[in-house]
Amino acid sequence: MTNPEILRYTQETGDFSRMLESIPYARFIGLECDRFGDDLIFRLPKKEENLGNPVLPAIHGGVIGGFMELSAIIYLMMSQETLRMPRIVDFSLDYLRAGLNRETFAECQLTRQGNRVANVMITAWQKSRSQPIATARAHFLLED
C-alpha cells in the first residue's frame, strides 16, 4: 500500500495499525491510537527502550516530544477531508513533570485551521488528564 492508500484505509476503517506500522519512529516507540467517536487518544506503552533516566525511571524527553509531535501529525491527517500531508513549521513543548515509566496518553485539539496552515495543541498525561506531564503547540503547513 502507498501512503495515500494507507491514509485512506485508516480514515475509512479507523484501523491505525497499518499507518503506525508504516512510520518507523512510531513503530520504535510503540505508538498506538484509538478512536472514541470523533476523538483520537494516542498511547505510548510502558517500554524500557523509551527510558532516558533509568534511576527514576523516567521516559526520555525526546521520546515524549516525538510521541506528541507524531500524535499531532496523525491527528491532523485524520481530521482532513482531503489527503494532505502536514509539514511541521514550529513545535513548542513544555515539560511539566517527569514522565515515569508507565503508560502515557496524548490528545490533540485543532485550535486554528486555514487553507494552508493549521495549529494544534497537544496534552500528554499518565495517571490523570488533570495532571499533564507535558503540553505542546504545533504549527503545520498543509500541502496537497
How far is residue 92 from each of residues 73, 100, 141, measured CA to CA in Å?
Answer: 14, 21, 15
Model confidence at 132, pLDDT cuts 50, 70, 90, reads: very high
Model pTM?
A: 0.93
3-class secondary structure, 44: strand
Task: List all residues 6 or more positions away from 59 whose beta carbon is below 8 Å from its beta carbon.
Answer: 44, 50, 51, 52, 99, 100, 101, 104
Query: Which of these, 58, 114, 106, 65, lies nearest to 86 by C-alpha position?
Result: 114
Instruction: Identify the CA nearest to 43 among candidates 12, 71, 7.
Output: 71
The domain in which residue 121 lies consists of: 3-143
Give the count of domains, the chain. 1
Q: Tell me if 118 sits within 8 A of 110, measured CB to CB.
A: yes
Segment 17-47, tens digit of pLDDT: 999 999 999 999 999 999 888 889 999 999 9
pLDDT tens column, 56-103: 899 999 999 999 999 999 999 888 776 777 899 999 999 999 999 999
* pLDDT value for 24: 94
Which CATH number goes with the domain that contains 72? 3.10.129.10
